[in-house]
Amino acid sequence: MCEIQARATRVSSAPERAAKGVPIAMEPKSFALAACVLAVSILGAGCRDTNTGGGEGGEPDSGAGEGSAVSIQEVQSDDIAEGDEVILREVVVTAVDTFGSRRGSVYVMEPEGGARSGVQVFLEGTEAADIEPGDLVDVEGAEKVEFSFSDDDTGRALTQLQAPQDGSVTVTVVGEGTIPDPEPVDPAEIAADDEVARDWQSVLVRIETVAVESAPRQIGSDDDFKEMAVTGGLPVVSELAPLSDEITVGDCYAAMTGILSYAFDYRLQPRSSDDLEPDGDACPERDDLFTVRELKQEEDVEVGDSVTVEDAVVTFIQDSEARVVIQDQTEVPEAHNGILVFRGSTPEPLPDGLEEGSVVTVFGELDEFADATQISSATIVLRDEDPVEPVRFDEDLDLDVLADEDEGEEFEHTFIELSDVAIVDEVLDDEERDGLVLEDEDGGQLVFDSRWVGDGDLGDIDVDVGDCLGTLPGIMDFVGFLPEPRVLRLLGEERFELGGDCAFADAR
Q: Give tens-digit pLDDT for 133-161.
A: 999 999 999 999 998 888 787 889 999 99
Predicted local distance difference test score (pLDDT) of residue 125: 63
Indicate the pLDDT class of residue 421, thresholds 50, 70 and 90: very high
pLDDT of 432: 63
Query: Which of residues 488 and 492 earns the better pLDDT score?
Result: 488
Backbone dihedral region for residue 255 (phi beyond 0: left; psi -120 to 50: alpha; all else: beta):
beta
Query: CA–CA distance from 94 to each of 203, 260, 383 (Å)?
Result: 9, 12, 35
Q: Are residues 14 and 161 in the same domain?
A: yes
pLDDT tier at 25 (50, 70, 90 boundaries)? very low
First to last CA, the chain: 96
Distance CA 200, CA 409 (A): 47
**Residue 325's pLDDT is what?**
97
pLDDT(22) > 50: no
The more confident residue out of 89 and 190 is 89
- Domain-located, residue 283: no
Q: Quote the pLDDT of residue 475.
A: 95
| pLDDT at site 215 | 82
Read off the pLDDT of residues 28-70 as tens digits, 9 standing for 90 and up: 323 333 333 333 332 232 333 444 433 333 333 333 335 699 9
Report pLDDT digits (tens) over 305-340: 989 898 899 999 998 899 999 999 999 999 999 999
In the prediction, which pLDDT does 184 show? 97
Does one domain contain both 24 and 153?
yes
Q: Give residue 36's pLDDT.
A: 36
On whether both 100 and 60 belong to a single domain, the answer is yes
Of 23-32, 100-109, 494-503, the poorest mean pLDDT is in 23-32
- Output the CA angle 318-324-327, nearest 5 degrees: 135
The mean pLDDT of 394-413, rounded to a whole number, is 92
Residue that wins the pLDDT comparison between 270 and 37: 270
Domain end among 218, 251, 277? 277
43 falls within a domain: yes
For the chain, the domain total comes to 4
CA distance 141 to 162: 8
- Rounded mean pLDDT, 194-214: 93
Percent of residues, the chain, with pLDDT higher than 70: 81
**DSSP SS3 for 123:** coil
pLDDT band at residue 350 under the 50/70/90 scheme: confident
> What pLDDT is recorded for position 445?
94
The whole-number pLDDT of residue 454 equals 65
- Name the residue range of residue 449's domain: 399-507
**pLDDT value of residue 151:** 79
Q: What confidence score (pLDDT) does residue 458 get?
A: 62
What is the band of 1 on the pLDDT scale with cuts at 50, 70, 90?
low
Contact in structure between 55 and 82 (CB atoms under 8 Å): yes
More confident residue, 73 or 382: 73
| Distance of alpha carbon 247 from alpha carbon 306, whole angstroms | 21
| Residue of 337, 283, 293, 287 lying closest to 307 (CA atoms) | 287
- Residue-level pLDDT at 306: 85
How far is residue 365's CA from residue 304's CA, in Å, rounded to a whole number?
6
Could you tell me if 127 and 192 lie in one domain? no
Are 19 and 153 in the same domain?
yes
Residue 168 has pLDDT above 60, yes or no: yes
Mean pLDDT for the chain overall = 82
**pLDDT given for residue 38 in this prediction:** 35
Residues making up the chain, counted from first to last: 508
Q: Indicate whether 35 and 136 sit together in one domain.
A: yes
Model confidence at 381, pLDDT cuts 50, 70, 90, reads confident
User: pLDDT band at 203, cuts 50/70/90?
Assistant: very high
Mean pLDDT to the nearest integer, 376-402: 87
pLDDT value for 433: 62
Tens of pLDDT along 80-99?
A: 999 999 999 999 999 999 88
pLDDT digits (tens, 9 = 90+) for 429-472: 666 667 889 999 999 999 988 888 766 566 567 788 999 999 99
Tell whether 14 and 54 lie within a shared domain.
yes
Q: Do 344 and 472 share a structural domain?
A: no
Average pLDDT over residues 257-278: 95
CATH of the domain at 476: 2.40.50
Q: What is the mean pLDDT of residues 227-249?
A: 89
Q: Are residues 167 and 84 in the same domain?
A: yes
End position of a domain, from candidates 214, 249, 277: 277
Strands (E), 135-225: 135-147, 158-162, 168-176, 183-184, 204-218
Q: Evaluate whether residue 287 is within a structural domain.
A: no
| Residue at which a domain ends, from 127, 150, 176 | 176
In-domain check, residue 492: yes
Give the pLDDT score at 11.
30
CATH assignment of the domain containing 364: 2.40.50.140
Buried b (16+ CB within 10 A) or exposed e, 247-284: bebebbbebbbbbbbbbebbbbbbbeeebbeeebeebe
Average pLDDT for 167-179? 93
Question: Does 161 share its domain with 238?
Answer: no
Q: In the predicted model, is pLDDT for residue 413 greater than 70?
A: yes
- 240 with 341, same domain: the answer is no
